[in-house]
Structure 1
Amino acid sequence: MNAPWTALKQQIQTWGKALSFDAIGIASIDLNAASARFKRFLAAGWHGQMDYLAKHGEKRFRPELLVPGTVSVICARLNYLPEPLQAMRQALGDPNRAYLSRYALGRDYHKLIKRRLLVLARKLEERIGPFGYRVFCDSAPVLEKPLAQQAGLGFYGKHTNLIAFQQGSFFFLGEIYTDLPLPPDPPLPKSYCGSCRACLEVCPTQAIVAPYQLDARRCISYLTIELHGPIPEELRPKIGNRVFGCDDCQLVCPWNRKAQLTKEPDFLPRHGLEKASLVELFAWSEAEFLAKTEGSAIRRLGYERWLRNLAVGLGNAPPSLKVLSALKARLNHPSALVREHVSWALAKHTAQLKTSATAT
């Protein structure tokens, strides 16, 4: 009875490979365990300003409510790592360079993955006829990581990211909710981290409060991308030169020693963002920002918060004439948010210079 569905599942995986996905798995729709974890995360208030995570009721935990008729989920994984880990460490280690999370250096992954999943769904439709489905990629109340874990695509790291055995954690996920009774893959156990605590220890803001528990309000990715107001002053010095997201917990993960570079040209760096300086990016006009972030995940940040983040990075950079001049040029910016962070950065440099002068 199950043989035709097993054969169809194998065909789906073959098509997925031809579409350059790194892995395809099938998940069941039982998310009870993940639902309990997620609700504890919300109850602790760790989601901060990400109010959308608390919306949609049970639809996030019950796929059949989000897409009526859903009985299985086709999960896809696609690597995005655009450069060797050593190059990332060099960028982080240079306080004058702007560090952007490597997933954001190329084109926005949402559209690329959704388009590819639609091609996969249409191939399936050509084979079996019309069926019920809907495609997602970080675009709806979907528990992507729990579904991918159930589909055997990865296990949870203590940093709460998903990790694949042979490819590490630098990958995107996408899903097709479907009414086809495809046989699910065996889920991977929760974790293979053992006694390792590298990610907890390296986190600049101690956002990983315990293994598998993340207080997003302290996470640099949250602070530089999701937070809309001022970045808390006590956390600004810890952000360093990270102006869009953070990869530290992934960089130190032993499983990423095997991380493979992406084969997707669209995920490769554009406009020299992998090596740009803080001063260079801070000088962009709004028109330049919009032009150079077109088709990029960075665009959703907006120009005002882009300058806010760069001002923090410049405040953490070594004092120099270039850095001070760049900050002073934005001291009277129309945005109060930008002015506040510029003033903080200049005050920090003033204090450093006074301390240095006193010491000599």
Structure 2
Amino acid sequence: MSSSEVSGAEQSSGEQPDANKPEGEPTLSDKIMARAIELGFDRAAIVPAGRLKHAEQYLEWLKEGRHGAMNYLDRHHELRVDPTKMEEGTRSVVVLLKNYYREADLLAGGLRIARYAHGDDYHDTLWERMRELAAFIHAETGADCGTRPATDTAPILERDLAALAGLGWVGKNAMLINPEIGSFSFIAEVLVDLDLEATHPMVPDRCGTCSKCIDACPTNAIISPAVIDARRCISYLTIELRGPIPRALRPLIGDHIFGCDICQVVCPWNSKAEPSEDASFQTREIYRSLTLQRLLCFDLPDYVEHFSKSAIKRAKLRGLRRNAAVVIGNTFAQSGDESIVELLGERLLKDEPEPLVRGHIAWALGQVGGDAAAQILCEAAGAEQDPYVQEEIRAAQR
């Protein structure tokens, strides 16, 4: 962003003086932001609603197919790039940040889970607070003021909107970076049909020449500054992708069961990130001792018991078992571990009902290696009926 662009943004998005307001008296915008903080949000800003500046870049990203199988991103284009189109009458947007940082993502049992998913589903937690904020706006104005709370549940480019509101800039890892609290934040917004005073100037891009996030990405998913090819991103592969994970990318997933924080962890702006004290985002005790082997064998009751009201549900049960097979293959690669081979064999030959998961178990057996694994693959080759799994078995035997 050029200095002229920053200057122009500051002029258009900064605080606008009100000649009729007595000095020292809080504006409606001040009151809304103060209430947002009282409700547990860490940052709040207000910006006039309008078409977002990166609308065309987003549409080009879609044309290039970089959204992978996330077809929902290729719908409602105009709603995504312009809040005024998403909710009729929208004139202002209250944009909110909520810190979810945890100091570690690797749990004692061996599961590495993205930090945002360690606690309760953030959608439920933030929606409750946004509804309270919306009720406050209604009560404060005394007008028939329409509001619509959202947090990645509505088709809108939230990071772009947060940057426009002056809550940070979009970094080279495509995450919103707030200069004070870093990037481990949920973004939420309340769309309002009132002309509210803007509260913050835009923040200039402060990534400079740093490329740590680009260099650290195991799968080279950051193809250029702020441009992610989702088809290579570990978060996409372990959460959004419903089919097989490409074989070439499986070793690069490492021990990530659900999501990935690498591009945030290496960012210097997160070096002083403070762990969230919000009870809703603390690591669930039931996760701490959960092992890969146990997760691989999960049935529906296990899934419900562990992941009810959790963001981890997004990966679905068979997706989590698929991921567990991949991580087991990576963790025990070339070890010939007898207990692991026995477990994988039982799942492949007898217990696993999903072809998708059986295919990844076959791959894991090939990674673990050893005579026992080779024997199981040979037996499975003669018994397996599903064409996809047969192909995975053949590849694992090579």
Give me the TM-score of the superposition, normalised by structure 2.
Answer: 0.83
Matched, 1:181 2:195: yes
Aligned to 1:358: none
Whether the 8 Å contact between 1:150 and 1:185 is mirrored in structure 2 is: no
Q: Which amino acid in structure 1 is aligned with residue 345 of structure 2?
A: K
AA at the equivalent of 1:156: V
Contact kept? 1:283, 1:326, Cα under 8 Å: no
Cα distance between partner residues in 2 of 1:229 and 1:169: 30
Alignment of 1:290-305 (within 5 A): 290-305=304-319
Structure 1 residue 243, shift from structure 2 partner: 1.0
Query: Which stretch of the first structure deviates more once superposed, 344-353 or 60-69?
Result: 344-353
| Structure 1 CA distance for aligned equivalents of residues 151 and 261 of structure 2 | 20
Is contact 1:32–1:61 with CA below 8 Å preserved after alignment? Answer: yes
1:114 counterpart (104, 113, 127): 127
Judged with a 3 Å threshold, the aligned counterparts in structure 2 of structure 1 residues 18 and 187 are, in CA distance, closer, same or farther, namely: same
CA distance in 2 between counterparts of 1:113 and 1:304 reads 28
Contact 2:94–2:191, Cα closer than 8 Å, also in 1: yes
Name the residue aligned to 1:236.
250
* 1:89-127 CA-partner distances (Å, limit 9, x unpaired): xx39x9x82211111110000111111011011112111
Aligned residues: 348
Q: How many angstroms apart in 2 are the aligned matches of 1:351 and 1:62?
A: 57
Which of residues 213, 217, 221 is equivalent to 2:235? Answer: 221
Contact 1:98–1:313 under 8 Å retained in 2: no
Distance 2:223 2:371 in 1: 31
Matching of residue 201 in structure 1 with residue 221 in structure 2: no
Counterpart among 336, 340, 347 of residue 355 in structure 2? 336
Residues in 1 aligned to 2:300 and 2:219: alpha-carbon distance in whole angstroms: 30
SS at structure 2 position matched to 1:258? coil
Any idea what the Cα deviations from partners look like across 1:68-97, whole Å, max 9, x if unmatched? 10111000100111x32xx34xx39x9x82
- Consecutive unaligned residues of structure 2, counting only runs of 5 or more, are 1-16, 374-398
| TM alignment of 1:93-132, pairs within 5 A | 97-129=110-142, 130-132=144-146
Amino acid at match of 1:69: G
Q: Secondary structure at the match of 1:260?
A: coil
Q: Return the alpha-carbon distance in structure 2 between the equivalents of residues 324 and 303 of structure 1.
A: 22
Q: Give, in angstroms, the shift of residue 188 of structure 1.
A: 2.8
Which residue among 344, 368, 372 is the counterpart of 1:327? 344
SS in 2 for 1:53: helix
Return the TM-score normalized by structure 1.
Answer: 0.91
Three-state SS of the structure 2 residue aligned to 1:337 is helix
Q: Following the alignment from structure 1 to structure 2, what is the Cα–Cα distance between the partners of residues 155 and 136?
A: 20
Deviations 1:42-64 (A, max 9, x none): 11110011111110131111211
Between structure 1 and structure 2, the one with the greater Rg is 2
Q: The residue matched to 1:331 in structure 2 has which SS?
A: helix
Contact 1:149-1:187 at 8 Å conserved across structures: no
Greater mean alpha carbon deviation, residues 63-72 or residues 271-280:
271-280
Query: Deviations for 1:198-250, whole angstroms, at most 9, x for unmatched residues?
Result: 10111010000111111011000000111110000000000011011001011
Distance 2:114 2:211 in 1: 22
Letter in 1 for 2:49: I
Q: Could you tell me which residue of structure 2 aligns to residue 347 of structure 1?
A: 366
Amino acid at match of 1:44: E
TM-aligned CA deviation for residue 273 of structure 1 = 2.3
Q: What is the distance in 1 between the residues matched to 2:58 and 2:320? A: 30
Q: Which amino acid letter does the alignment assign opposite residue 316 of structure 1?
A: N
Shift of 1:300: 2.4
Q: Give the aligned residue type for 1:240.
A: G
**Paired residue type of 1:328:** G
CA distance in 1, matches of 2:77, 2:292: 41
CA distance in 2, matches of 1:51, 1:352: 43
CA offset at residue 159 of structure 1? 0.4
RMSD after superposition: 2.2
Q: What SS does structure 1 have at the residue aligned with 2:93?
A: strand
Could you tell me the percent identity over the aligned residues? 38
> Is contact 1:271-1:292 (8 Å) kept?
no
